[in-house]
């Protein structure tokens, strides 16, 4: 009894109760909410199809920078082979070799930050001017249509944040917040600032900016690490799809499927065979249909935009977009 505490209702609880009562009293609102939730779930599943295709295809496309004679057909075939290996090992990767994910991503983010610092020191620190938000207004005033297209492209810089919710069953919320603020966000901002500095000094670079900005002596190690990071990102989205469909099955919104628990300690580590092979077939069909990263990126942007609008991703995704957009506007303002 000495540890008993009386918990009074908070303002947030009272507001949520009022909203719940209004939703339950309106049949039309309940149907609308159900439709939005199902559509958001469908867009999240489509994101799980496009993300592996986009991540792996863009990572393998760096081969054209290291080997200029490499054709797009070679890039497509290597991407397909990597995806087949990834989904074939998905059941075992969930529990057996999942321990390598953390160290690989730590090295990857540190590598991104290091490349950004190297480019800033080599091409100048003028890209830091991009943190001034006035450049956004100047850019929209000079090039409204082009600025709108750039803003749509910047949305891709915050992708992946929607998958964090599926990983909350593995890690505490505070831990995810600390790692994002102290490691992920600084490394990403440094990487984008370094690419902006590279673009200002090399305006005629056509594509594959990230791989073109890598110093030549570390290109191939970074290329291999980028492909490994792309496979890890694809695996993360697949696990997120498994978690989402598991909840949908529990709520009676999806047909019952065979769910395999791959860990004796953690209930959240699951594997759904039918969904895994469906995602593989969809990814392969997507790559064979579009074949280029630009076309896949357009579809990816549409899916991510609808997904974020419906699922209400965290505010830090907007903050990340703002910083990246400032960086891109600085490059456009430097143009003659």
Question: What's the mean pLDDT in 4-25?
Answer: 74
Q: Using alpha carbons only, how large is the chain's radius of gyration in Å?
A: 22
pTM of the model: 0.76
Give DSSP secondary structure letters for 44-78: HHHHHHHHHHHHHHHHHTTHHHHSTT--HHHHHHH
Per-residue model confidence as pLDDT tens digits over 67-123:
888 888 888 899 999 999 988 888 775 555 556 777 888 899 999 999 999 999 988
Q: Is 25 within a domain?
A: no
User: pLDDT digits over 291-307, tens only?
Assistant: 777 777 777 777 777 76
Q: Is residue 28 part of a domain?
A: no
Residues 52-79 have a mean pLDDT of 86
The pLDDT, as a whole number, for residue 287 is 87
Q: Classify residue 30: in a domain, yes or no.
A: no
Asked if the structure places residue 1 within a domain, the reply is no
**Helix count (H) and strand count (E) of the chain?**
16, 2
Whether residue 329 has pLDDT greater than 50: no
> Would you say residue 176 lies in a domain?
yes
Residue 125 maps to a domain: yes
How much is the mean pLDDT over the chain? Answer: 78
Tens digits of per-residue pLDDT, 205-236?
667 788 888 888 888 999 999 988 888 888 87
For the chain, how many structural domains are there in total? 1
Is residue 203, in this structure, part of any structural domain at all? yes
**27 or 311, which is more confident?**
27
Higher-confidence residue of 131 and 327: namely 131
Average pLDDT over residues 39-60: 84
Q: Checking phi first, is residue 124 left (phi over 0); if not, alpha (psi -120 to 50) or beta?
A: left
Q: Is residue 20 assigned to a domain?
A: no
Which structural domain range is residue 132 located in? 42-333
Structure tokens at 94: 């969930």
> Which tops the pLDDT comparison, 336 or 59?
59
């Amino acid at each position: 009894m000495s540890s008993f505490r009386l918990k009074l209702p908070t303002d947030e609880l009272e507001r949520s109760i009022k909203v719940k009562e209004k939703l339950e009293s309106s049949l039309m609102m309940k149907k609308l909410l159900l439709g939005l939730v199902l559509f958001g779930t469908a867009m999240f599943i489509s994101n799980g199809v496009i993300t592996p295709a986009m991540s792996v295809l863009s990572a393998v496309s760096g081969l054209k920078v290291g080997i200029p004679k490499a054709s797009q057909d070679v890039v497509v075939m290597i991407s397909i082979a990597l995806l087949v290996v990834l989904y074939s090992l998905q059941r075992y990767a969930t529990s057996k070799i999942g321990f390598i994910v953390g160290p690989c991503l730590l090295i990857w983010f540190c590598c991104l930050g290091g490349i950004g610092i190297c480019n800033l020191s080599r091409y100048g620190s003028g890209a830091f001017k991009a943190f001034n938000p006035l450049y956004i207004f100047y850019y929209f005033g000079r090039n409204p249509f082009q600025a709108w297209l750039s803003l749509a492209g910047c949305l891709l810089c915050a992708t992946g944040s929607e998958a964090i919710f599926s990983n909350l069953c593995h890690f505490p919320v505070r831990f995810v917040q600390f790692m994002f603020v102290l490691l992920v966000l600084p490394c990403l901002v440094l990487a984008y600032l370094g690419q902006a500095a590279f673009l200002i000094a090399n305006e005629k670079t056509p594509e594959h900016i990230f791989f073109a900005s890598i110093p030549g002596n570390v290109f191939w190690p970074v290329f291999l690490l980028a492909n490994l990071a792309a496979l890890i990102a694809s695996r993360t989205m697949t696990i997120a799809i498994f978690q989402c469909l598991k909840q949908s099955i529990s709520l009676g919104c999806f047909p019952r499927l065979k769910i395999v628990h791959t860990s004796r300690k953690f209930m959240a580590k699951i594997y759904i065979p039918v969904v895994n092979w469906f995602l593989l077939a969809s990814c392969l069909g997507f790559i064979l249909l579009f074949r280029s990263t630009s076309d896949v990126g357009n579809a990816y942007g549409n899916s991510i935009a609808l997904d974020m609008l419906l699922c209400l991703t965290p505010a830090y995704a907007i903050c990340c977009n703002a910083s990246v957009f400032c960086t891109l506007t600085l490059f456009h303002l430097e143009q003659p």
